[in-house]
Structure 1
Amino acid sequence: MADNLLELDTPVIAILRAPTAARFAEVTAVLQESGITAVEFTLTSEGALDALRDCADFAYPIGVGTVRTAEDANRAVDAGAAYLITPVVSDEVIHEGYRLSIPVISGAFTPTEIHRAWVAGSTMIKVFPASLGGPDYLRALRAPLPDIPLVPTGGVTHDAAKAYLDAGATALGIGSPLIGDACTGGDLNALRDRALALREELK
């Protein structure tokens, strides 16, 4: 799975966050049909792990986000998580991912945090919140840290997506600009249109 994360056909990890995960399976099906194959279910969404279990037969594996402890990591993996995403540099999550042979994408922002997460064993680094620095900040990070796969997340809009990739992003973490209100009853056809448009933009 680590290799797949580094070589996505469409370099986007779609982030599903809502009060409840009741519609996560439907939303994920639309995303994967539209070519967005990497999806994150956030633990802050009620029922996220139950929704993940409901997706066990999906064509592409799903990750779990907002993982902050080793206990979170184990619950997520037991439910079928193929990779773990943290909002912070959590040594215990990184170490637990290594023990379980599960890729970990660690959240970090400064060069020091990014380096620490990388040498601790993270597969990729989520630069969060990316909107604070934008593509220029990512480009500045790439200069001294060219070997570390960076995934800007947090405020990455459709309009800015290509600029982040041009600045050296390996992939993009995108939530509400892509998902909109689809997880809370919104139009799934509109979600499909956004996903297809984003995929076309990033070709």
Structure 2
Amino acid sequence: MDLRAALTTHRLVAIVRGGDPEAALRTVLTLADEGIELIEVSLSGKGALSVIERARAEFGPDRPLGAGTVLTAEDARAAHRAGADFAVTPALGDGVSAARDLGLPVLAGVMTPTEIHTAHTLGACALKLFPAAQAGGPAYLKALRGPFPDAVFVPVGGVDEEAARAYLAAGATAVGVGSPLVGDAADGGSPDALRERARAYLGLTRGATS
């Protein structure tokens, strides 16, 4: 898949991480049903590979589905086998190179200018600015766009609706959102509340100007 184009178009990555695989799968399917096109299932969640496999079976081959918290080469291989077609890492390491070797585009975790440069040399096609709030928020992102004007930045970490608007206004290509969007749905919480939050995030990302 063309992850860079997908991030530019959809501007939102939903991050699902839960302790209940059945609830996590329902969460993925509910988010997709509401129209969220880019969904990442974190490998740190319980039964994550099974969730990816089952979601892929539900989606068919054409809908994007990512694996998150890809740290090692084996993580990348397992995610690929499960049916993920893009990888998200919290940091730079073997997971980035292995995913690229498998043909998976990578949203690589970075914080500093040196890490941004390294991510590009490793073949990452987009940059997960993480943890974004602790890194300095929208002002830090805006500063990074000076030396890296063509980079695809996706802030992740504490991105509530207000922060999402600010990051997109500061030049983020997209935002990655976990608990402010998913809440407790992946642990068995209300799917109706999840749908409301999904609609709110879709509204603000679709209304943002690039």
* TM norm structure 2: 0.91
Q: Which runs of 5+ in 2 are unaligned?
A: none
Match of 1:104 in 2: 106
Match of 2:129 in 1: 127
Q: Percent of counterpart pairs with the same letter?
A: 44
Structure 1 segments, 4+ long, off by >6 Å, are: none
Q: Deviations for 1:101-134, whole angstroms, at most 9, x for unmatched residues?
A: 1101110101111111112100101000001111
Alpha-carbon spacing, 1:164–1:35, altered in 2? closer, same or farther (3 Å): same
Match of 1:27 in 2: 27
> For residues 171 and 21 of structure 1, what CA distance do their matches in structure 2 show?
27
Secondary structure at the residue paired with 1:131?
A: helix
Deviation at 1:7, TM superposition (A): 3.2
Number of equivalent positions: 201
State the Cα RMSD in Å. 1.3
> For residues 108 and 116 of structure 2, what CA distance do their matches in structure 1 show?
8
Q: Which runs of 5+ in 1 are unaligned?
A: none
> For residues 5 and 71 of structure 1, what CA distance do their matches in structure 2 show?
26
Match of 1:77 in 2: 80
Deviation at 1:175, TM superposition (A): 0.4
Q: Does 1:87 pair with 2:82?
A: no
> For residues 179 and 98 of structure 1, what CA distance do their matches in structure 2 show?
28
> For residues 8 and 80 of structure 1, what CA distance do their matches in structure 2 show?
22
Greater alpha carbon shift after TM alignment, 52-61 vs 42-51: 52-61
CA contact (8 A) 1:15 1:174 kept: yes
Deviation at 1:20, TM superposition (A): 3.4
Secondary structure at the residue paired with 1:15?
A: strand
CA contact (8 A) 1:2 1:123 kept: no
Greater alpha carbon shift after TM alignment, 120-129 vs 20-29: 20-29
Q: Does 1:154 pair with 2:157?
A: yes
Q: Deviations for 1:145-165, whole angstroms, at most 9, x for unmatched residues?
A: 111101100111111111101
> For residues 170 and 7 of structure 1, what CA distance do their matches in structure 2 show?
6
More helix by share: 2
Which runs of structure 2 are paired with 1:122-201 in the superposition (5 Å)?
122-132=124-134, 133-201=136-204
> For residues 54 and 33 of structure 1, what CA distance do their matches in structure 2 show?
15
